[in-house]
Amino acid sequence: MRTLMWTVAATLLAACGGSEPAPAPEPAPATVEKKAKVEKKAEPKEEKVDLTTLSPEEQKAKLMEIGEKVYKTGGKKGLACNTCHQDNGKGVPGAFPPLAGQKDHMGDCAKHAGIVINGLQGEIEVDGITYNGVMTPQGDLLTDLEIAAVITYERFSWGNDFGVCMPEQVAAARQGG
């Protein structure tokens, strides 16, 4: 109560106290600089993923998570796979082959990785439809982790169940193994 009275008194005094306008407070330069520094965003760090510390289930989950992003965005430098193969993995009949249920090309991890690394062209038949298109090589555009992730995503999507593909297997596929 006492404090309140003092506050009221002070406010009244201030209100009546002379007509001289108080000088506009200038912000101290130090404060401004500090604020600017806080607002500056930290550079985004490259995502470091250490799969070796994870259980097989966690490895698969992590690869699927990264892989879906790569499939839909192409990662940092690659081409988004869904542009041609579509979100549902069904492709476009006659132009882009489906990835759903394609054990011939995707059953083997090294072969699957090889298609992403080296691209694919020439006539192929998928589900009774002939394709003679060109898939651009992406070995230089995607990291081993990105390729392992995107193909693992394909290997477990749309009813596929072809097994996990690890970055070391992609690295070996680059060497032709």
Binders in 146-175 for ligand HEC, by CB under 6 A: 150-151, 154
Q: Which of 54, 64, 79, 110 binds ligand HEC (CB under 6 A)?
A: 79
**Smaller CB separation from ligand HEC, 150 or 173:** 150
- Scan residues 88-107 and list those touching ligand HEC (CB under 6 A): 96-99, 102, 105-106
**Shortest spacing between CB 147 and ligand HEC, in angstroms:** 7
Q: CB of 169 within 8 A of CB of 113?
A: yes
What 3-state class would DSSP assign to 156?
coil
> Which among 58, 53, 57, 66 has a CA at the least distance from the CA of 170?
66
Q: Any contact of residue 138 with ligand HEC (CB under 6 A)?
A: yes
Q: Read off φ and ψ for residue 122, nearest 5 degrees.
A: 105, 170
* Residue 109 binds ligand HEC, judged by CB under 6 A: no
Q: What is the total residue count of the chain?
A: 177
Which is closer to ligand HEC, CB of 26 or CB of 140?
140
- 67 counts as binding ligand HEC under rule CB under 6 A: no
CA dist., res. 144 & res. 75, Å (int) = 12
Rounded least distance, CB 29 to ligand HEC, Å? 51
Whole-number Cα distances in Å, 40 to 37, 46, 70, 165: 5, 18, 29, 39
What does the block give as tokens for 32? 């401004």
Burial of 90 (0-12, 13-18, 19+ CB in 10 A): middle
Stretch that binds ligand HEC, among 22-30, 50-58, 129-137, 168-176 (CB under 6 A): 129-137
Rounded CA-CA distance 142/145 in Å is: 8
Binding site for ligand HEC (CB under 6 A): 78-79, 81, 83-85, 96-99, 102, 105-106, 112, 115-116, 120-122, 124, 126, 131-135, 138, 150-151, 154
